[in-house]
Amino acid sequence: MGFNSAFKGLSAVGSMLKWVFFTAILVDVEELHRTVDKMHRTEGDIIHSVNHQMKYVKALDSAVKFNT
C-alpha cells in the first residue's frame, strides 16, 4: 500500500467522520472566516450607500419644501 493510497484512505475516513459527526476541519473554518470577512466588507458598502441616499433624500425634501 503506497503513500497516495493510504492518504486517500485517510481522506475518505476523515470525510466520512466529518459527514457523520458534523465536525469542521481547518479548511471549513478558513472558508467560513473568508465568507464572514466578505460579508463585513459588503455590509460596510451598503451602510455607506444608504447614508448617501439619505443625504440626497433630505436635500431633495428641503428643496421641495423651499419651492412650495
CA distance 4 to 7: 5
Q: What is the pLDDT of residue 19?
A: 66
- Its pTM stands at 0.45
Residue type, 10: L
Give the pLDDT score at 35: 93
Dump pLDDT digits (tens) for 1-32.
454 555 456 577 767 776 667 666 777 788 88
**Is residue 17 a contact partner of residue 23, using CB atoms and an 8 Å limit?**
yes
Q: Taking residues 28-52, what's their average pLDDT?
A: 90
Listed in sequence order, the DSSP H helices in 22-67 are 26-67
What is the percent of the chain where pLDDT is above 90?
32
Contacts of 23 (CB under 8 A, 6+ apart): 17
**Grid cell listed for 57:** 433624500
* Residue bearing cell 448617501: 52
Task: Locate the domains of the chain by residue range.
Answer: 23-68
